[in-house]
Amino acid sequence: MSSPSTLWLTGLAGMGKTAISKSVCKAAEKKGNDIVLCGSFFCSRSAGPAAQRDIHSVVPTLAQNFAHQSVQFGHALDEELTRDPDVLHKHISVQVTQLLYKPLLFLKGSNVPHLFVIDGLDECGDNLHEDGMTDDKNTHRIISDLLEALVDFSHSDDNLPVKFFVTSRPETYIRDIAKSNAQ
């Protein structure tokens, strides 16, 4: 698998990032495709439940999505939750490790890429400027921590065929994470 493990698509509001994310999900869901859609999270600060704005919902939702599809992943996830029932209240990097990375270890050596899609990551957070951008340093830090954990995950094991497709506006704190990990 020579393609990047983490792909970040950026653009201004209304440029079609969500449409592309939905197209990626639909293409991955097709039978006979060479990729498995494990889960998706579409962040939104304007529509849907409040959980779509909560950065703390992203990793548990992705894990739950794949647990509904894969019995093997579901069992491994259950073991992690039994071992540490408080993981949902821990740092987001711990959540990535315990709710995604460890339960996905059964995929080692598989030739089929497994994809997680996170759309509109910049839309997570409750405090907003008039221009719709998040205005919460804590949320920015958590989003940055999530991105760093996903990149660390994708770099941690070349034999684990997991891909992340993330979209957002080109906010500085997200762009800085992407730049530092692209080198």
Residue 14 lies in a domain: yes
Residue 11 lies in a domain: yes
Q: Is the pLDDT higher at 99 or at 136?
A: 99
Q: Which domain holds residue 166?
A: 6-182
Query: Comparing 14 with 73, which gets the higher pLDDT?
Result: 73
Provide the domain count of the chain: 1
pLDDT per position as a tens digit, 30-61: 877 789 999 999 988 776 665 577 888 899 99
In a domain, 22, yes or no: yes
**What pTM was computed for the model?**
0.85
Residue 168 in tokens: 């957002």
- List the structure tokens of 8: 């970040």
Residues with Cβ within 8 Å of 151's Cβ and at least 6 positions away in sequence, in order, are 5, 6, 177, 181
Backbone angles phi, psi at 168, to 5 degrees: -170, 170
Q: Dig out the tokens for 156 from the structure.
A: 């941690």
1 located within any domain: no
Give percent of the chain with pLDDT exceeding 70. 81
Q: Which segments within 3-111 are labelled E, that is strand?
A: 6-10, 36-42
Any idea what the CATH number is for the domain that residue 142 is in? 3.40.50
